[in-house]
Structure 1
């Protein structure tokens, strides 16, 4: 039976490979936070899901939270269990909702509120809800306005009271 004996070149190559990979592993284990320059780790270099909210500074975590939200039902009432940061809602006319924030430090002019239809609580199939930043047709005390519409294909949409919605203020 013939024995395989590595050539001297193969021995040198394997030794070089072992030293090269071992050195990288050793070096990677020696790098600590204090060894990194500011800005050296960019978002591209961070694995998705590797940073949890607990890893962020408290001010950063606070800036990522919604500051106010409300769920408005078909009766133009705030659903208390799903509302925070809103004091009241009124419906001065069909499809026009006027909301007042309970937090005076929240300036609706400097935020980007989002409105979405609450499909489970609404009473029509072809509906939409839109933010009205001017709160047109609302009293002076209102901070935000929302308009809700229903439509039939091929016709103009009409303001409607058949739409429940949720509004979030980041």
Structure 2
């Protein structure tokens, strides 16, 4: 069995894994990262999206062995010192969820979108998130949340502005 070493949410893990084990199952079953839902196992829905070295991937399309030597961020690894990440806050404040099943994947895909384009238009947000499906919201509040987080993330920290 292959041995992998992977950093997940800032913690390094070393494990023997079956060569065919999907990353989503490794995260959930081995590491207890149940904030990464299993939606479809076919890459259609995007619910299982995580950040793989900072880029969004659908973890049902990646083998755990492919994560060897890489850094993975799940929704549980966002935020610092008990504070939510700006994207998490924006999703909450803009009511960008209903059932919440797609929310972890939407949040992580949105963070990657803003990494590539810090000030996306509504159309660019919709296009950037087209691989993540929401069956409840109609997307309007999701788009609004991404815009709000983008605005906040572009602003310099208060400590940097104050003398």
TM-score computed with the length of structure 1 as normaliser: 0.21
Greater CA radius of gyration, 1 or 2? 1
TM-score computed with the length of structure 2 as normaliser: 0.22
